[in-house]
Amino acid sequence: MTQAIRIHKTGGPEVLQWEHVEVGKPGAGQVRIRHTAVGLNYIDAYQRSGLYPLPLPSGIGLEAAGVVEEVGEGVNHVKVGDRVAYAGGPAGAYAQKRVMPAAPLVRLPDEISDIQAAAMLLQGLTAQYLVRRTYKPKSGETVLLHAAAGGVGLILSQWLKSLGVTVIGTVGSEEKAELAGNMAAPTPSNTPRKTSSSAYAKLRPVRAYRSSTIPLARTLGKARLIAFSHLG
């Protein structure tokens, strides 16, 4: 027997129940994992409230890290004892142990802690598809990054800067401006500054910062500006 948080009806936090559950042996394509860190995300609250319906009763939570305890038939990319993490798949991460599909699991390198992996894997995957699949920014280009102080935004800011890209980030408060500026623009010349763009009039207070002094690239005599907007 192990323990997990489950819901039998939708509602507020009071519907979360800490219960004893049976965790069986993994079937073909599955693993049993012992969680060491569990990630929290807004989708968990949406599923708990019923905004994103789940078949009830159900576990909850989609992101975690842990150690593989047993593998089922056909699982070759992870083995017993591996430190792994995942983001997505069937709900049920709020648990000490669980049996789940092996496909979403990624092995963790020594330099990434379980807590870091559980907290940032989904955000990192989001950042990866934005800069590697949606559009591949090049050195000298400029990116307008919304929600620059969020989980995705902080990763994107640093990733883009490492590529030689100028980042103009929008945030919603002085504190977030300082956080985003420190992450992507540590030099005094890149301190946050107010934006006068009327496009963000309804989002006041709005701040903007530049994370690099690399000049805006020009293509055929026209400046190029790429905008990344995400939920982060």
Cβ atoms 167, 161 nearer than 8 A: yes
Range 206-217 average pLDDT: 37
Q: How confident is the model at residue 58 (pLDDT cuts 50, 70, 90)?
A: very high
More confident residue, 144 or 69: 69
Residues 32, 123: Cα–Cα separation, whole Å: 24
**Band of residue 230 on the pLDDT scale cut at 50, 70, 90:** low
Name the helix (H) or strand (E) containing 153: helix 151-162
Residue 111's Cβ-side half-sphere holds a number of Cα atoms within 13 Å equal to 0
Task: Using pLDDT thresholds of 50, 70 and 90, give the confidence band for residue 106.
Answer: very high
Q: What residues contact residue 48 under an 8 Å CB cut-off, 6+ apart?
A: 7, 10, 11, 12, 13, 15, 16, 60
Task: Calculate mean pLDDT across residues 59-84.
Answer: 97
Q: How confident is the model at residue 195 (pLDDT cuts 50, 70, 90)?
A: very low
* pLDDT per position as a tens digit, 2-32: 999 999 999 999 999 999 999 999 999 999 9
Q: Give residue 223's pLDDT.
A: 41
**Is residue 41 a contact partner of residue 126, using CB atoms and an 8 Å limit?**
no
194 pLDDT exceeds 80?
no
127: part of which helix (H) or strand (E)? helix 114-129
pTM of the model: 0.74
Q: What is the pLDDT of residue 173?
A: 82
Rounded mean pLDDT, 170-186: 75
Q: State the chain's mean pLDDT as an integer.
A: 82
Domains with residue ranges and CATH for the chain: 2-117 (3.90.180.10), 135-228 (3.40.50)
CA distance 212 to 68: 42
Q: What is the mean pLDDT of residues 34-50?
A: 95
Confidence label for 184 from pLDDT (cuts 50, 70 and 90): low
Position 127 scores a pLDDT of: 93
What is the average pLDDT across 212-222? 33
Mean pLDDT of 208-219: 35
